[in-house]
């Protein structure tokens, strides 16, 4: 199993705040550790289709030193369940959306849950990352995203599931 590139899909409502930030954070942290992880993001709603990262989230990413690229929000599809090993929601509504779109979780061959909440990976079972679109607390959300991504990478490394660059 060593050397396999784990494919991760981060999911939130519209794919302009939390999930895209999680995509950028996971990509950055994996690169810092010399790990190979394929990551993408999507929303289960199509209301933001094609939109870039929400400007206040871009500012939070800058403040935390997380590089980001131009983004075009997309809607999650049932095919994502086949394309990705791990589908990770930011809150319970996102997890519900994953299940509604993709059906029951199949075996991903990793011995890890195919569907989860991001903060589960930080040992905060059932904790959610509140939507900063509503709370306006982008730094808090980003800090929790970083915490969850660090926990995910720790798990992948501990189990020998993350490839090395």
Per residue of the chain (165 residues), give pLDDT as tens.
455 789 999 999 999 999 999 999 999 999 999 999 999 999 999 999 999 999 999 999 999 999 999 999 999 999 999 999 999 999 999 999 999 999 988 889 999 999 999 999 999 998 999 999 999 999 999 999 999 999 999 999 999 887 776
Q: Does 77 map to a domain?
A: yes
- Could you confirm whether 107 is annotated as catalytic? no
Q: Does 53 map to a domain?
A: yes
Contacts 24+ apart (CB under 8 A), 26-35: 26/149, 26/152, 26/153, 28/66, 28/67, 29/146, 29/149, 29/150, 29/153, 30/153, 30/162, 31/165, 33/153, 33/157, 33/162, 34/164, 34/165, 35/153, 35/156, 35/157, 35/162, 35/163, 35/164, 35/165
* Domain that includes residue 24, residue range: 6-164
Residue 60: CATH number of its domain = 3.40.50.2300
Q: How many domains does the chain have?
A: 1
- Could you confirm whether 102 is annotated as catalytic? no
Please tell me which residue in 27, 91, 131, 149 is annotated as part of the active site: 131
Please tell me which residue in 12, 17, 102, 149 is annotated as part of the active site: 12
Q: Does 63 map to a domain?
A: yes
Please tell me which residue in 17, 18, 91, 149 is annotated as part of the active site: 18
Q: Does 1 map to a domain?
A: no
- Could you confirm whether 7 is annotated as catalytic? no
């Amino acid at each position: 199993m060593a050397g396999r590139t784990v494919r991760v899909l981060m999911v939130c409502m519209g794919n302009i705040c939390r999930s895209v930030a999680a995509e950028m954070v996971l990509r950055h942290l994996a690169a810092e550790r010399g790990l190979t992880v394929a990551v993408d993001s999507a929303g289960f709603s199509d209301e933001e289709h094609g939109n870039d990262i929400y400007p206040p989230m871009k500012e939070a990413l800058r403040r935390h030193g997380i590089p980001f690229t131009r983004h075009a929000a997309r809607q999650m599809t049932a095919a994502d369940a086949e394309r990705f090993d791990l589908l990770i929601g930011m809150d319970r509504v996102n997890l519900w959306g994953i299940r509604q779109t993709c059906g029951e979780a199949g075996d991903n061959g990793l011995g890890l849950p195919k569907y989860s909440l991001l903060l589960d990976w930080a040992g905060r079972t059932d904790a959610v990352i509140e939507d900063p679109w509503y709370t306006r607390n982008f730094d808090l959300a980003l800090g929790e995203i970083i915490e969850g991504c660090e926990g995910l990478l720790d798990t992948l490394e501990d189990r020998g599931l993350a490839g090395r660059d």
